[in-house]
Structure formats: structure tokens, C-alpha cells
Amino acid sequence: GENVEQHPSTLSVQEGDSAVIKCTYSDSASNYFPWYKQELGKRPQLIIDIRSNVGEKKDQRIAVTLNKTAKHFSLHITETQPEDSAVYFCAAIQGAQKLVFGQGTRLTINP
């Protein structure tokens, strides 16, 4: 089955700097890769996603890149703000139904 590895587990950046979180997946058949943001005690919130027929997608300060050959994808947050502090999860879809999640990255934005 699919296995998703996520790095780093914690990340601390200065406000205004960029943050990058990386994930690798094992199943070459996976074709959909969402990113979720989860604040303490709240639901995972979908922030951006990418499908395997696209190499990059951007939404304001957030971008995701996908390298199908290497089977890895990354989340890029530019001009970070304190409200970006949260746990971020990458995931890969398996069989068009269940999401397989990475272990999460706790992002802290220092003012």
C-alpha cells in the first residue's frame, strides 16, 4: 500500500521568511496530493491540492510542486505570518478513495 513520509517534523521560521515542507510517496499510481492545515483542537483544513498531471500550483502565498519521477511533492509558504503557525499534513490518495497522510510538520512563525 501507499506510504507517505513527511519532513521536517518541526520547522521554525522568522515572520516574513519562506517555509518549505517536503513529502515523498511510494505508490506511483497515486494521482492526487492535498495539503491540510490543522490548528490546535480544530479540524484539518484543505489549503491546496495538486493532481499528477500538473507540476506546480499556486494560490496567493501558498504553492505546491510535484515531481512524479522522484515521487515527491512540496509545500511552499512565502511571506509567512503568525497565523500560518499550525501543523501541516501532506497526503496522497490511494485508489481514488482513502487518503494516506504524512506524519505532520509543526510550523512555528516567530515574530
Partner 1 sequence: DTGVSQDPRHKITKRGQNVTFRCDPISEHNRLYWYRQTLGQGPEFLTYFQNEAQLEKSRLLSDRFSAERPKGSFSTLEIQRTEQGDSAMYLCASSRQSHRETQYFGPGTRLLVL
* 62 forms part of the interface with partner 1 (CB under 8 A): no
Which of 13-21, 29-37, 60-68, 73-81 is the region at the interface with partner 1 (rule: CB under 8 A)?
29-37
Output the CA–CA distances (angstroms, integers) from residue 22 to 7, 8, 97, in the order listed. 5, 7, 23
* 48 forms part of the interface with partner 1 (CB under 8 A): no
Enumerate the β-bridge partners of residue 77.
Answer: 19, 62
* 103 forms part of the interface with partner 1 (CB under 8 A): yes
Residue 3 three-state SS: coil
Return the residue of 40, 69, 96, 111 that touches partner 1, per CB under 8 A.
Answer: 96
